[in-house]
Structure 1
Amino acid sequence: MTTLNYADYLLVDDLLSLQRTLAPPETTSRAVVLAEHFFIVAHQSCELWLKQVTLDLEAAADAMTPPNGPEDGELALEYLLRSTELLRVLHEQVLALERLPLRHFAAFRPFLDGASGAQSAQFHQLSRLLGDERRQGRLYRAFEQLSEEQGLSVSEVCARGTRAGVLNRIADSLLDVANGYWHWKLGHLALVSKMVGSNNGTGGSTGVDHLARRVSLPFAELRQLRAQVHEKLS
């Protein structure tokens, strides 16, 4: 019987074969090929972390959706806390991309054709989960349901603060998730502005202008309710 090893468990050979640069090495400098490889690794890593974040946030929403057990609020909180850390990792990967030399990016960018990060299906899934200033996403609606099941409105959870127990900790964590998401998007906006300025995106968007319009803070109602508590206390 063969013992499972690290490489087989993680399918390392398959994983390391997925970075396929398009800049032709026979006519492109090694520095440009390595820059494109770095670009691919960074974005593939983001997609992997996005997969985990969306899985965890979906699980958090499921845990908060009735019928609930006595431990489901704590379980939802665990998922939210992990997601906060993973959004920080995503933001740090954007910061790492700032080490991509502009001249090298300009050299391989034409090979991207119409491929654009705006086409990421997982990013759109995360956006729907979180919502924005105009609409509540599934995650917040699930929190409303959990609060109602425990006999409280979200407004009352905010007013009670620590006396609301796990509901208060979930509210805090929701805002941490939202802030992490916002910082990640701002970091990406700053990176694109640095690299392409006012040029259009590879997917045909207006580049920085398009991204700037999409930078939003989820959970607007929760923020408003917390602000009202602050006003009463000040």
Structure 2
Amino acid sequence: MDNSVSMKVDGGNATQNPENMERSETTEDIKKKKTKATTSDVRRYFTKLGPGDDVIDRAQCDGCKQKFKVGGKKYGTSTLKRYLDRCVKIDFEDIGQTLIEMQNKMGALKIDNHVSREMFADFVIDCDVFFSIVDNKKFRNWVKYISPTLGLITRNTLKEDVLKIYLREKEKLKSTLLVIPNRVCLTSDLWTSITTEGYLCLTAHFVDLNWKLQSKILSFCHMCLLLTRNLNCLPRFLSF
């Protein structure tokens, strides 16, 4: 397809095809639109200073620090938008620089390693995630990409964090059971792991101070093959 501008002779004068002229003008209009400041650019690159001696508000260009009158019908944003197109110290279309500034701000954010470890341990508990996830290369690369300054932990550290949460929640449950005025109902259930091993689980059911029914696991133990050995679980339950 030939994209060249067609010409025709009219009385010895060469003129452009109107269709091609319209297409050329449309292209120029698009280019102008790309470099034209918008109202959002005015809000972004001008700082409002408040009224001056003549009780008319002022705005200052963040690039060259020049001040302008703003406000009302007489001093609108049109003047500011036109000035943005001429200001040599502001390039409001420098998207690359904007992204760099955003990355620098994100990199400057401080992440509390203690809080992040606590939240990650909660995630592992809630979603039944294996401790070995911290050794996964793809996972570690993702964490480094999100925050290069965030310290990665080992599976042993993760196990310690999970155990701390367990002990803390255990003490909270003990305190709750001591203050409830109602009775506690105990039930036992048999669990089977993916390796077909059996476990005995002891659960407490009670109504809390807000009149809500709660079910909390008190303890569980591994089920032995012989029934006589199962009695060894009782002391562990009673020691809760």
TM-score w.r.t. length of structure 1? 0.24
Bigger relative contact order, structure 1 or 2, given CA contacts below 8 A and separation 6+? 1
Structure having the higher strand fraction is: 2
- Greater radius of gyration (CA): 2
Structure having the higher helix fraction is: 1
